[in-house]
Amino acid sequence: MLLRRKLCVALVIATILFLMLASQSIQRRHFLPLSLAPPNSHATPTGGGTVVKATAPPAVRTNKLTPPPIAIKPEVKEEGDKEDKEEEPIENSQYDQRPCSCPDSCVSDLDRSVWFSKRYDSKQQPILQEANNNFDQAALTWWLALQRSGNDQTLEKVMSELFRVISPPTGDFKPLPSKCRSCAVVGNSGNLRDSGNGDLIDSHGSVIRMNKAVTRGFEKDVGNRTTYHFLYPESAVDVAPGVSLVLLPFKLRDLEWLTSALSTGHIKTTYMRVKDRVQADKDKVLVVNPEFFKYVHDRWTEHHGRYPSTGMLAIIFALHTCDKVSVFGYGADQLGNWHHYWEQNRHAGAFRKTGVHSADFETQVIHQLAKEGKISLHL
């Protein structure tokens, strides 16, 4: 009985061993060893780089824990992208903002002309203020010596009396990115005759005229609009309502004259007989800063002549108060005569011979401004 039990146990053990050997044999037939298995990933080249795709390993049970495969997400690059993408400029950013909205260019943009940037000073204050003018003493001394007035008045006292009669300037002439201020500076040259520029002149936002300029009867050639009328006592005329009288003071006496001409009329002479009263809107009167004369003399006319002419001062004034400047009626006519378009001057050419202004050099500057694209010159 005991022998039979031992035989049964031995038979069971043998059966178990046989089944185990059979199982291992089956595994070897159907599965390769890991060292002989194919790689578990492959690379697929693309136009933008290499994309790695993961593949699952064979389902082999082992006694060790195998970490799950890691899928590498491909880097997607848009067509046309460079390896190191360059930073694209941001339009209309605060760093790329233009000083005005004119489509072509802005006068105060200094990047386009080295010649212009050496002369143009954006910090200049072309209009005389009631206070806080911060005069440069050297410039003021030079201006006071241009045409001596022969009195003991101080500039401060004369200005104080002047601004009791006229209103302090309120307009801001600085450029704005949202505006394009176009200005026509109209000289008095005889070359305006038969020019047909009237409509073009009037199409500008502001029109600057000077001295004894007339429009009646010449509208086809010179237009009929006026925004600013530049003058000094010896060239004074009445100014129409709504037009700004702009005084060019070549001496202290000119400031006194303006105060008188708009009030009592007691000043009747400077170095010659002058108009003792002028009609003008007192709240629109402007006075060019005396220091601005020295700036134009130093930077623009470069000491040619004793001081700049009215026409030259008007152009540089426009460069500081407008974004787009057109110039008409400067220089000699087609016959080489220097005269006004409304008259036949038998002393043609006298302007060039006085020595006070240098017409030839000023003409060179004006043509250079046109060449640099800062003004549109109509001859």
Q: What's the whole-number mean pLDDT along residues 82-106?
A: 60
Residue 42 has pLDDT above 50, yes or no: no
Number of helices and strands in the chain (H, E): 11, 9
Tokens of residue 93, six digits: 């950013």
State the pLDDT at residue 332: 78
Q: Residue with structure tokens 């400067």?
A: 330
In a domain, residue 212? The reply is yes
pLDDT above 70 as % of the chain: 74
State the pLDDT at residue 94: 38
What are the residue numbers of the active site?
307, 357
Q: What's the whole-number mean pLDDT along residues 32-58?
A: 39
Strand bridging mode 228-231 / 41-46 = unpaired
Quote the strand ranges of the chain, DSSP E.
41-46, 49-54, 182-186, 206-210, 228-231, 244-247, 286-287, 324-328, 375-378
Cα gap 313→250, rounded to integer Å: 11
What is the 3-state secondary structure of 317-374?
Answer: HHHHHCCEEEEECCCCCCCCCCCECCCCCCCCCHHHHCCCECHHHHHHHHHHHHHCCC
Q: What's the whole-number mean pLDDT along residues 257-273?
A: 97
- Per-residue pLDDT band for 174 (boundaries 50, 70, 90) equals confident
State the pLDDT at residue 98: 85
Name the more confident of 61 and 22.
22
360 exposure class (CB count in 10 Å sphere: 0-12, 13-18, 19+): exposed
Tokens of residue 293, six digits: 């004369």
In a domain, residue 78? The reply is no
Tokens of residue 369, six digits: 């401004």
What does the mean pLDDT of the chain come to?
A: 82
Among candidates 243, 241, 237, 269, which has minimal Cα distance to 256?
269
State the pLDDT at residue 84: 42
In a domain, residue 11? The reply is no
> What letter does residue 305 receive in the DSSP assignment?
B
pLDDT above 90 as % of the chain: 61
Residue 178 has pLDDT above 70, yes or no: yes
Tokens of residue 347, six digits: 């002393």
In a domain, residue 343? The reply is yes
Instruction: Quickly count: other Cβ atoms within 10 Å of residue 114's Cβ.
Output: 9
Cα gap 204→89, rounded to integer Å: 34
Span 333-362, pLDDT tens digits = 777 777 899 987 656 555 555 568 898 999
- Per-residue pLDDT band for 137 (boundaries 50, 70, 90) equals very high
Among candidates 226, 227, 224, 223, which has minimal Cα distance to 198?
223
In a domain, residue 138? The reply is no
Maximal CA-CA distance, the chain? 162
Name the more confident of 352 and 300.
300
Contact present, 225 and 201 (Cβ < 8 Å): yes
CATH number at residue 231: 3.90.1480.20
In a domain, residue 131? The reply is no
Beta-carbon contacts of residue 144 (< 8 Å; ≥ 6 apart)? 155, 251, 252
Contact present, 251 and 289 (Cβ < 8 Å): no
In a domain, residue 254? The reply is no
Domain count across the chain: 1
Residue 67 has pLDDT above 60, yes or no: no
Name the more confident of 57 and 186.
186
Residue 46 has pLDDT above 80, yes or no: no
Beta-carbon contacts of residue 253 (< 8 Å; ≥ 6 apart)? 147, 149, 150, 151, 233, 267, 270
Residue 77 has pLDDT above 60, yes or no: no
Cα gap 162→267, rounded to integer Å: 14
In a domain, residue 167? The reply is no
> Hey, is 175 helix, strand or coil?
coil
Domain that holds residue 338: 114-124+175-249+279-378
